[in-house]
Structure 1
């Protein structure tokens, strides 16, 4: 990728949208730009990994390898989100990995020390970064609350609604359409269930005309009706 393309990608990211051309050159942001192919690991053995990443394009899978040797998905990162040591702590990723998922990815990577220096010299970037981290923490809190003391159907419905709120496009009235970047296995791991159960429940929701799921998209004809379905289930 050429330097002009990197410049446009980085400047289109909310965090760096307000810097001047001179600041872009001064901060040497292009130096922090990296690309990875589908299936490549951004990091794997993260015990001493002290970087944070801003995803410019593509999708990242965050997970860990369980005692049985199987991968477990913790989170799916989409374009515009931050991952890695986003709290600016050190050595606390506890063995998680980050992998380019389904397609090539482009991102900005910073060592914690370098990024802390950047925040000290550019308070405006620090302000936007604080907002972004706050949004991420609220998202993680919502996911955690969804896993507590709720049956699988409730967790699935709440997950679909959160998905629509975060990534959906409102097409008509209360209808939401989301690009489908998740398999049934992905959803199962993210809500603490099994693929078979998720498939069964999605089929039930489709039969009730509450969702429409294809490989390309997930459509919720009415978010309100989907939410109300929990009260009568």
Structure 2
């Protein structure tokens, strides 16, 4: 359907910087979308899955945006916006961009929760629903996210996230099996009533 495109294959911790004038469409694999500030701060703002699309935010914003892989192959397609002349082509991509942007805003909403434990539990719920595969009473997460990645997604530290994950393991909310994170479906699905009152800073 769409033309005027360029294909990029990424693997082995590759980085691609976003440029204005393009729509980036993820055909295959998963990618991390990072926001880099002038003061050196780097924030993971979204984890992209196939059929996601993004455009560079307002060019006046003084930040750099990058796609990063984590030892997993991904296929990214770049569409030059000015070269798309058919209304249906632009509508198709804008719809994908809008859906992806809504997920980014949902992660931003999670980041604004007061307690770190709340943020982590709600993030696990989000990741389970977006990426999880259901097996018996568990969601299985097989996306390549480290404790450092999780901490960036909720604006915390790796040490704090590791401590909270160990606590959730003791409470049998999560467990690790052969490198995959298993999350109790019955508990994470009713996260609103889950006891997240513990404050960890």
Q: TM-score range by the shorter chain?
A: 0.7 to 0.9
More helix by share: 1
Cα pair 1:65 1:71 within 8 Å, conserved:
yes
- Which of 92, 101, 110 matches 2:70? 101
| Aligned-residue offset at 1:199 | 0.3
| Aligned-residue offset at 1:129 | 3.2
Query: RMSD in angstroms over aligned alpha carbons?
Result: 2.8
Cα pair 2:33 2:44 within 8 Å, conserved:
yes
Q: Deviations over 1:90-149 (max 9, x none)?
A: 67683222233322321211112123x2x42xx2x4454344233223212221221224
Matched, 1:183 2:154: no
Aligned residue for 1:230, secondary structure, equals coil
- Work out which structure has the larger RCO, using CA pairs closer than 8 Å and 6 or more positions apart in sequence: 2
**Aligned residue in 2 for 1:219:** 182
Stretch moving more, 197-206 or 89-98:
89-98
Cα distance in structure 2, aligned partners of 1:154 and 1:196: 16
Which of these two proteins has the greater Rg computed from alpha carbons?
A: 1
Cα pair 1:50 1:90 within 8 Å, conserved:
no
Aligned residue for 2:194, secondary structure, equals helix
Cα distance in structure 2, aligned partners of 1:165 and 1:41: 27
**Aligned residue in 2 for 1:136:** 100
1:69–1:213 distance in 2 versus 1, CA, 3 Å: same
Cα distance in structure 2, aligned partners of 1:135 and 1:223: 27
| Aligned-residue offset at 1:165 | 0.8
1:149–1:231 distance in 2 versus 1, CA, 3 Å: closer
1:92–1:32 distance in 2 versus 1, CA, 3 Å: farther
**Aligned residue in 1 for 2:22:** 51
Gapped regions of structure 1 (runs ≥ 5): 1-18, 20-26
Alignment of 1:143-162 (within 5 A): 143-162=107-126
Cα pair 2:118 2:196 within 8 Å, conserved:
no
1:136–1:57 distance in 2 versus 1, CA, 3 Å: same
1:110–1:100 distance in 2 versus 1, CA, 3 Å: same
1:80–1:202 distance in 2 versus 1, CA, 3 Å: same
Alignment of 1:1-233 (within 5 A): 19=1, 28=3, 32-43=6-17, 46=18, 49-67=20-38, 69=40, 71-85=42-56, 94-115=63-84, 117=85, 119-120=86-87, 123=88, 125-172=89-136, 175-213=138-176, 216-224=179-187, 227=191, 228-230=193-195, 233=198
Report how many residues are paired.
196
Cα pair 1:60 1:76 within 8 Å, conserved:
yes
Under a length normalisation based on structure 1, what TM-score does the superposition of the two structures give?
A: 0.71
1:218–1:37 distance in 2 versus 1, CA, 3 Å: closer
Under a length normalisation based on structure 2, what TM-score does the superposition of the two structures give?
A: 0.81
Gapped regions of structure 2 (runs ≥ 5): none
